[in-house]
Amino acid sequence: MNTGQQEILGALHNCIVTCNECFDACLSEHHVSSMAECIRLDRDCSEICSLLVQAISRNSSNIDVLARSCVEICERCADECSKHDHDHCKKCAEACNECAKVCRKLIA
Amino acid sequence: MNTGQQEILGALHNCIVTCNECFDACLSEHHVSSMAECIRLDRDCSEICSLLVQAISRNSSNIDVLARSCVEICERCADECSKHDHDHCKKCAEACNECAKVCRKLIA
Amino acid sequence: MNTGQQEILGALHNCIVTCNECFDACLSEHHVSSMAECIRLDRDCSEICSLLVQAISRNSSNIDVLARSCVEICERCADECSKHDHDHCKKCAEACNECAKVCRKLIA
Amino acid sequence: MNTGQQEILGALHNCIVTCNECFDACLSEHHVSSMAECIRLDRDCSEICSLLVQAISRNSSNIDVLARSCVEICERCADECSKHDHDHCKKCAEACNECAKVCRKLIA
């Protein structure tokens, strides 16, 4: 595994953890209703990132296909999170944007 | 859940099970080496199908994004499986093609 | 695949879909805060059920190990859902209980 | 997230990546047949580890339940990998044993 792949796997792992922390924190906010779309996208994002970690590390022939979905979902999640003032949302938007940026390198 | 979605979920479930049965059977074949790509694609395919089942049933806003990946991976798996004469490969190619066909309806 | 396994895969698939429908509906309820634990357990439950579907259909040697976790998580989800009056929660409690019942057969 | 959880997430991430690298390398070995059980367990192990990463990072109430399965599957994978002389198998056995060790802390 080369340095580029290590960087991508690190960004994906960070995105998985940060999205799940945001999912957890959103469910404990006073106004959960206003966080519903964030909760949904946090789940979507952490799951496609997990799939991509696994695909990259087993040298799948579908890395590019999954990376396209992953970049798109990370960007949608970052957009939603950046609408909210909570620290966990800001941190999540940042992790998702970083993840989208590095995963774009995987797209042929 | 409407009839169209039920049909899609059924095709995805069938594809997950059939790909995993093919994965299992390929690993027991005499010439496993020649089945390596099939084993890899069976795994890829069953995992993206699982993700899509979950996304559809929770009414995710990323169904179309995941469906595009799923259709592409199902088609690649069907192409590989159709190269082999084993019954489990033929059955798998059929399930993947059927799954790709119905999931194409999800793409905007 | 024998009839017993088909029944188990059917119950798992139904549980995945029903938990995700409940997850989606809970996030649209007026009082989302009171549904937070339900939302969390719906996610946990649908994900372990997905893993078990894949393990059973590829004839994994860890079916019993995963089935123990699955039964426990299904029961916890059913307990939580049965505290709520929403139709989607009642339907989910029923699907989880049924799934726990059939998956108990997998435990050695 | 505290230091203990960071250590556990790091061990899980390492185990996911190492199991998938072993899965990939096993499928390229000359005698794939003798690696079949290793390939199967690599997949099982990477998938339960992924589930546990997600559960820990979203503060799930089922961390202990999933950790029990994860420890058991990591140990089975380590046992199988330690039977083989390939570097990727030795590295995988090590990562699985380390992962089992730290995840045991999560079991109540």
> Hey, is B83 helix, strand or coil?
coil
Contact B1 C9 (CB under 8 A): no
Instruction: Identify the pLDDT of residue C87.
Output: 97
From D44, D54, D69, residue closest to C69, measured CB to CB: D69
From B17, B47, B57, residue closest to C20, measured CB to CB: B57
Rounded Cα–Cα distance for residues D22 and D17 (Å): 9
Q: Which residues of chain D have pLDDT under 70?
A: none
Residue B53: CB atoms within 10 A of its CB come to 25
Q: Decide if B33 contacts D36 (C-beta within 8 A).
A: no
Instruction: Identify the pLDDT of residue A59.
Output: 97
Rounded Cα–Cα distance for residues D108 and D92 (Å): 26
B30 touches chain C (CB under 8 A): no
pLDDT in tens, C54-97: 999 999 999 999 999 999 999 999 999 999 999 999 999 999 99
A36 touches chain C (CB under 8 A): yes
Tokens 């059917």, located at residue: C10
A76 touches chain B (CB under 8 A): yes
Specify the DSSP class assigned to residue A105. G
pLDDT at C103 over 90: yes
Instruction: Identify the pLDDT of residue A1.
Output: 75
pLDDT over 70, % of chain A: 100
Shortest Cα distance, chain D CAs vs residue B43, angstroms: 9
Chains in contact with B via at least 3 Cβ–Cβ pairs below 8 Å: A, C, D
Residue B6: CB atoms within 10 A of its CB come to 11
Q: Which residues of C touch D41 (CB under 8 A)?
A: 61-62
Chains in contact with A via at least 3 Cβ–Cβ pairs below 8 Å: B, C, D
Q: Decide if B70 contacts B103 (C-beta within 8 A).
A: yes
Query: Could you tell me which residues come within 8 angstroms of residue C31 by beta carbon, excluding any fewer than 6 positions away?
Result: none
Instruction: Identify the pLDDT of residue A27.
Output: 97
Q: C1: pLDDT confidence band, cut at 50, 70 and 90?
A: confident
Instruction: Identify the pLDDT of residue C6.
Output: 93
- Mean pLDDT over A29-49 rounds to 96
Contact B54 C9 (CB under 8 A): no
Rounded Cα–Cα distance for residues C73 and C27 (Å): 20
Rounded Cα–Cα distance for residues A82 and C60 (Å): 42
Using alpha carbons, select from B56, D51, B2, B14 the residue that is nearest to residue C10: B14
Residue of A nearest to B54 (CA): A44
Query: Could you tell me which residues come within 8 angstroms of residue D102 by beta carbon, excluding any fewer than 6 positions away?
Result: D7, D8, D11
Instruction: Identify the pLDDT of residue D63.
Output: 98
Q: Decide if D52 contacts D70 (C-beta within 8 A).
A: yes
Q: Which of B20, B32, B37, B42 to mutate to test the interface with D (most CBs of D within 10 A)?
A: B32
Instruction: Identify the pLDDT of residue C3.
Output: 84
CA dist list (Å): B50 to B76, B79, D32: 17, 20, 27
Contact B27 D43 (CB under 8 A): no
Instruction: Identify the pLDDT of residue A3.
Output: 84
C62 touches chain D (CB under 8 A): yes
* Dihedral over Cα of C40, C42, C45, C48: its sign: negative
Which alpha helices (DSSP H) does D58-103 contain, by range?
Answer: 63-81, 87-103
Averaged pLDDT of chain A:
96
Instruction: Identify the pLDDT of residue B93.
Output: 98
Residue C64: CB atoms within 10 A of its CB come to 14
Contact C27 A40 (CB under 8 A): yes
**108 residues of chain B, pLDDT tens digit each:** 788 899 999 999 999 999 999 999 999 998 899 999 999 999 999 999 999 999 999 999 999 999 999 999 999 999 999 999 999 999 999 999 999 999 999 997
Instruction: Identify the pLDDT of residue B2.
Output: 83
pLDDT in tens, A79-103: 999 999 999 999 999 999 999 999 9
Q: Which residues of C touch A40 (CB under 8 A)?
A: 27
Instruction: Identify the pLDDT of residue B50.
Output: 98
Tokens 């944007």, located at residue: A97
From A44, A60, A61, residue closest to B60, measured CB to CB: A44
Q: Decide if D42 contacts D16 (C-beta within 8 A).
A: no
C72 touches chain D (CB under 8 A): yes
Using alpha carbons, select from C63, A51, A11, B39 the residue that is nearest to residue D23: B39
B1 touches chain D (CB under 8 A): no
Q: What is the CA radius of gyration of chain C?
A: 14
Rounded Cα–Cα distance for residues C33 and A1 (Å): 44
CA dist list (Å): A92 to B8, D54, D65: 32, 15, 27
Shortest Cα distance, chain C CAs vs residue B47, angstroms: 9
Rounded Cα–Cα distance for residues A67 and C55 (Å): 25
Structure tokens at D77: 């994978």
- Distance between alpha carbon D73 and the CA centroid of its chain, in Å? 7
Query: What is the complex's ipTM, to 2 decimals?
Result: 0.95
A38 touches chain D (CB under 8 A): no
Instruction: Identify the pLDDT of residue D97.
Output: 98
Rounded Cα–Cα distance for residues B13 and C7 (Å): 13
Query: Could you tell me which residues come within 8 angstroms of residue A89 by beta carbon, excluding any fewer than 6 positions away?
Result: A22, A26, A38, A81, A82, A83
B43 touches chain D (CB under 8 A): yes
pLDDT at A108 over 80: no
For chain A, give the number of residues: 108
Contact C47 D54 (CB under 8 A): yes
Contact A43 C40 (CB under 8 A): no
Rounded Cα–Cα distance for residues C7 and C84 (Å): 28
Shortest Cα distance, chain A CAs vs residue C104, angstroms: 27
Instruction: Identify the pLDDT of residue B1.
Output: 74
Q: Which residues of A touch B42 (CB under 8 A)?
A: none
Using alpha carbons, select from C6, C5, C42 the residue that is nearest to residue C22: C42
Q: Which residues of B touch A69 (CB under 8 A)?
A: 62, 65-66, 68-69
Tokens 């390398």, located at residue: D25
Instruction: Identify the pLDDT of residue D101.
Output: 98
